[in-house]
Amino acid sequence: MPFIDEEIARMVQKERKREREKEEKDRRLEEDASIHTEDIAEGIKSGACTIFDRTYLFQKYTILEDRVSLYLPSEELEIRINEKSAFQSLNMEMGFSSNIVLSDIMEAFEPLSVYKDNMEKNLKPSGFHFNWLEEGSILSGGRQVLYLDFLNVTGLGSVHNSIWFIMTPYGRMQCTLNYDHGDDKYWKHMMRALMKLIEIK
């Protein structure tokens, strides 16, 4: 019976698709398990970090009038702004950029849910589409770093945004780092290491 045969064929296709997706997920988990943030951090500090088949060069930069130090990819890095309360850099060839703002507000940051609601309210009307990925916090030098990762889908591709919120002795600091989401298998590991390597003076 043709109808029953078609139903069976569709069920078989769905099952095969689920199996392929599970295999791909297991493969990614196995790759991730083989990578340790501490090893990546050591590579970054030494100036060269190798993940899978790529090597990224890094350099330590002191910014915001010597109040903050952090590591950034150094290949063709263009520093556009480095002032008392703002820093911007761009690595055009690798599609990486950073934007760091330091305010004198001493109150603690709002919950990440508040930032997400405000961003959707203010940016969605202009065509900005959010795909929330991950949020949480880590400790860096005894300080809590809140982070919020999301995708912005554009006509040129998907841009991965990682925003870090850090309280400093000078006030709130917000770091936004962007990269091509197509390179996420590399950058997602380096992002956590870069967070841990920030130094506040």
What does the pLDDT read at residue 34?
Answer: 47
Q: How far apart are CA 26 and CA 187, in angstroms?
A: 20
Average pLDDT for 169-191: 94
* Residue 197 in this model has a pLDDT that exceeds 90: yes
Q: How far apart are CA 134 and CA 131, in angstroms?
A: 10
* Structural domain contains residue 6: no
* Structural domain contains residue 11: no
What does the pLDDT read at residue 26?
Answer: 47
* Structural domain contains residue 4: no
Identify the residue whose tokens are 């959010």: 130
The 10s digit of each residue's pLDDT in 11-68 is 667 777 776 766 665 455 445 544 788 889 999 999 999 998 899 999 999 999 999 9
* Structural domain contains residue 112: yes
The DSSP call for residue 109 is P
What does the pLDDT read at residue 88?
Answer: 98
Domain CATH number, residue 74: 3.40.1000.10
* Structural domain contains residue 184: yes
Average the pLDDT over each of 19-23, 85-89, 180-184 and give the range with the smallest value.
19-23
The 10s digit of each residue's pLDDT in 123-177 is 878 777 788 999 999 998 889 999 999 998 766 678 899 999 999 999 999 999 9
* Structural domain contains residue 97: yes
What does the pLDDT read at residue 127?
Answer: 76
* Structural domain contains residue 27: no
Please tell me the total count of domains within the chain.
1
Domain that holds residue 88: 35-200
Inter-helix orientation angle 37-46/184-196, to 10°: 80
Contact (Cβ atoms closer than 8 angstroms) between residue 87 and residue 72:
no
* Structural domain contains residue 7: no
